[in-house]
Structure 1
């Protein structure tokens, strides 16, 4: 509900900006979305008592990077926002966006799915013929606009459960591979295509291997969180691989990804046996006032939005018009993110 009201009050009024400039629209929406990340960080750390322990190599602003992470639960994204808050280092961290590659069905969720469309997340359909086209359009757009950001990819394609583990075992048997007990065998096609294309266009600075583990409570689905069962600790480790050490061929990138997942299996196996996790530089943002300010701002914003929605005719019309436009684009063009790219290409041709 809070996300929907934030969409109404902050994102709906911005629609005209995209017809003026794609870059300006992307900059403003990125800052808004990044500042929203502070809110779940504050909620988890202050109200839920969840300690997000981040270590390893910080994400550098002013670069384009791909983040590859094991997908332990359906709720991983809730804990990834504070992870990003603590891991991004450098000037203007508020303007360095992080995008996700997500299942296409998520874009239809009112509120969260809409906002992530407006933030230019990447939605795929699990059909390579269409997904290759989607990824190519995205690559051309970010390369042409020199768009610096991080893109999170879940190579496993789904979260780790007993059922998906069995499917992974079946895949391993058919392909004469080792069976994993703590991760799923990664799908390599999308990652290798995305990484190879960005490298060939000299528009990728690094790949970060991100390993996540829940030492106590494993929030496998939303029901666990709704019942008030939050993990007290979440451990996340970042390992940076600069473009200079990345393989330059798709086959080499496929092997690179498979090696990273073999390393994850060994790391998580050792953690569950000994309690020891990966070591490295502790990444922690100490400017707590930012989180307190975000907590106040995002808590009060829904009430201001509701007041405007009830009292102001122009605001109701604005939200309704924007929502109808978004719903139409959802079915006509596959989402606002595709409309944004198409509008840029049209402007570029003219």
Structure 2
């Protein structure tokens, strides 16, 4: 019975991605060479609007209620977002929560960019779109990863774009095997065993926070806690078979500068304290009959986004039809999509992905400008 809802959900989800890729991102590529800033603004708008689509699908197809509490996310700020990684599908439920929680003038150009494992960028469709959205892919080779992180933060800072960057400090989702690994790590470090979260790895978080603080671009750190109330969708198969939870709680807690500082020890302690609190909160929730992480006093005061979600539902559901029509009837459009796809596959093989090319184009423009200024002064 679940497949009746699960399969249409997946078809609509992926068709919207491919339609957005072909209909918007492929024709937009030349804009990147003209202006990195405007290319990033336009694509961030598209991604922010698309983030509402899986949110709308979850609500209208599955009747999924995502209960959001805590502090609103200000889209006029740069933030670092950390969250417990309960399942491999957490991202699918985080998007609706962030869409509901975000306020501010820039909320229509404020997609949440994830720090992801490098193999994901090769997945056709979703992996490509995340590359084009300038998500940050890491290989877990620290010497390479810290260079990528530094370049990404420099890039966003120089474009003067507002961004929300999500990192899962646990590095993987909670399973019996990963819990056993976490327990061994705890024994080695003299830490207590956790049952509801994994012990966080602090290296990547500390580096990103320090880099953003040094560049003056970190306005706040947000700690998000997710819990699945009625059922836990452990992997992507749950999306196909329709095993989607009906009730999910996500709580956002904002921490301003002053509650942490740029020292490695302070940031490490900050993250470890958050995870200790998270373990206690989830343990208390599991042992009670509550349906929310916090009471009504912690309810987030957000605007009703039903109209925006409905607009996203209609737009992204219908988009594949005109895109498919033009692919079939317009050779020029078809060649643009084919050429862009060949280009994207090539940079995936020959480099670290499109996001590295985008940053490389920006850095090349800077070198040309410096050379021009130098020659102008010489003359």
**TM-score bracket for the superposition, by shorter chain length:** over 0.9
Q: Which residue of 1 aligns with 2:224?
A: 210
- The aligned residue for residue 312 of structure 1 is 330
- 1:186-265 maps to which residues of 2 (within 5 A)? 186-265=200-279
Alpha-carbon distance, 1:143 to partner: 2.0
Q: Which has the larger radius of gyration?
A: 2
CA distances 1:200-228 after superposition (whole Å, capped 9, x unpaired): 22110000010000011100011122111
**Which of residues 71, 74, 81 is equivalent to 2:95?**
81
Quick check: 1:54–1:284 contact (8 Å CA) kept in 2? no
What is the DSSP-based 3-state SS (H/G/I as helix, E as strand, rest coil) of the residue aligned with 1:184?
coil
Q: Could you list the runs of 4 or more consecutive aligned residues of structure 1 that deviate by over 3 angstroms after TM superposition?
A: none
CA-CA distance at 1:283 after TM superposition? 4.5
Per-residue CA distance 1:74-128 (angstroms, 9 max, x = gap): 0111111111110101223111221000000000001100011011000000111
Distance 1:243 1:324 in 2: 44
Who is 2:20 aligned against? 6
1:275-333 CA distance string (max 9 Å, x none): 34234132543132211111111111111111111111111101110001111111222
In structure 1, which of residues 8, 17, 28 is the aligned counterpart of residue 31 of structure 2? Answer: 17
Per the alignment, residue 42 of structure 2 pairs with 28
Q: Distance in 2 between matches of 1:92 and 1:309?
A: 33
- In the alignment, is residue 117 of structure 1 matched against residue 131 of structure 2? yes
Q: Unaligned regions of 5+ residues in structure 2, if any?
A: 1-13, 369-379
Structure 2 contact 209–262 (Cα < 8 Å) conserved: no
2:307 paired with 1:293: no
Corresponding position of 2:8: none
Q: Is 1:278 equivalent to 2:294 in the alignment?
A: yes
Return the match for 2:346 from 321, 328, 332. Answer: 328
What corresponds to 2:154 in structure 1? 140
* Match among 147, 154, 167 for residue 168 of structure 2: 154
Q: Distance in 2 between matches of 1:157 and 1:287?
A: 32
* CA distance in 2 between partners of 1:92 and 1:135 (Å): 23
Per-residue deviation at 1:176?
1.1
Give secondary structure in 2 for the equivalent of 1:212: strand
Tell me, what secondary structure is at the counterpart of 1:219? coil
Alignment of 1:98-117 (within 5 A): 98-117=112-131
Q: Considering only aligned residues, what root-mean-square deviation do their CA atoms show, in Å? A: 1.1
- Distance in 1 (alpha carbons) for counterparts of 2:187 and 2:301: 39
Contact 1:65–1:151 under 8 Å retained in 2: yes
> Which residue of 177, 185, 190 maps to 1:163?
177
Distance in 2, Cα, partners of 1:191 & 1:111? 28
**Alignment partners' CA distance in 1, 2:289 and 2:344:** 47
Indicate conservation of the 8 Å contact 1:180/1:265, yes or no: yes
Displacement after TM superposition at 1:229 (Å): 1.4
Q: Which segment drifts farther, 139-148 or 214-223?
A: 139-148
1:49 aligns with 2:63: yes
8 Å Cα contact 1:72-1:159 kept in structure 2: yes
- TM-score, normalised to structure 1, is 0.98
Out of 317-326 and 303-312, give the one that drifted further.
Answer: 303-312
Worse-superposed segment, 159-168 or 1-10: 1-10
CA distance, structure 2, for counterparts of residue 187 and residue 245 of structure 1: 20
